[in-house]
């Protein structure tokens, strides 16, 4: 664990349509056509840092590459609190199993130079889905 004090704060309850309602494109339908939305609270993380605005600060050495769950669930903030370290968010909404990790490897590989840990979150439903074209291309490419 790190040494950066992290404080989590929860916002007020608000409705959030479930993932299946979003996947089925039923979010904008009348309430009688689906289950009631989940009630959730947004979570935010804040750090106590010493020094001024222009002081050197360590670059975060942990990256979270995940799905929309990592963006919408408070997972990032909880991970930061558990590790007592700042985590860089590189998750992608709709990225599924490999969207965020392929984006990180193919487009933002420079971020990996100073990274010590990549946390890869992906939906369990990906275990039963066929490979996407992007995944297949990545697996078939020639390695340096």
User: In the predicted model, is pLDDT for residue 17 greater than 70?
Assistant: yes
For residue 123, which of 67, 65, 77, 64 has the smallest C-alpha distance? 67
Asked if residue 80 belongs to a domain, the reply is: yes
Asked if residue 113 belongs to a domain, the reply is: yes
Q: Residue 102 sits in which domain range?
A: 6-47+59-140
Asked if residue 19 belongs to a domain, the reply is: yes
Asked if residue 70 belongs to a domain, the reply is: yes
- What lies within 8 Å, CB to CB, of 141 at 6+ separation is none
Give the residue-averaged pLDDT of 32-39: 78
Instruction: Name the more confident of 144 and 78.
Output: 78
Residue 39's pLDDT is 83
For residue 120, which of 140, 105, 138 has the smallest C-alpha distance? 105
For residue 16, which of 43, 36, 33 has the smallest C-alpha distance? 36
> Which pTM does this prediction carry?
0.69
Asked if residue 1 belongs to a domain, the reply is: no
Asked if residue 54 belongs to a domain, the reply is: no
Asked if residue 72 belongs to a domain, the reply is: yes
Report the share of the chain in percent with pLDDT over 70. Answer: 88
* Tally of domains within the chain: 1
Asked if residue 52 belongs to a domain, the reply is: no
Most confident segment among 53-57, 58-62, 139-143: 139-143
Residue 58's pLDDT is 66
């Amino acid at each position: 664990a790190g040494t950066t004090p992290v404080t989590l704060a929860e916002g007020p309850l608000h409705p959030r349509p479930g993932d299946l309602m979003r996947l089925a494109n039923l979010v904008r339908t009348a309430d009688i056509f689906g289950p009631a939305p989940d009630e959730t609270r947004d979570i935010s993380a804040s750090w106590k840092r010493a020094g001024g605005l222009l002081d050197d600060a360590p670059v975060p050495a942990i990256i979270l590459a995940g799905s929309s769950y990592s963006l919408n669930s408070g997972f990032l903030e909880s991970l930061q609190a558990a590790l007592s370290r700042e985590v860089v968010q590189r998750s992608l909404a709709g990225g599924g199993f490999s969207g965020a990790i392929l984006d990180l490897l193919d487009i933002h590989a420079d971020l990996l130079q100073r990274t010590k840990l990549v946390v890869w979150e992906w939906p369990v439903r990906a275990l039963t889905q066929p490979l996407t074209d992007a995944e297949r291309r990545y697996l078939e490419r020639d390695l340096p």
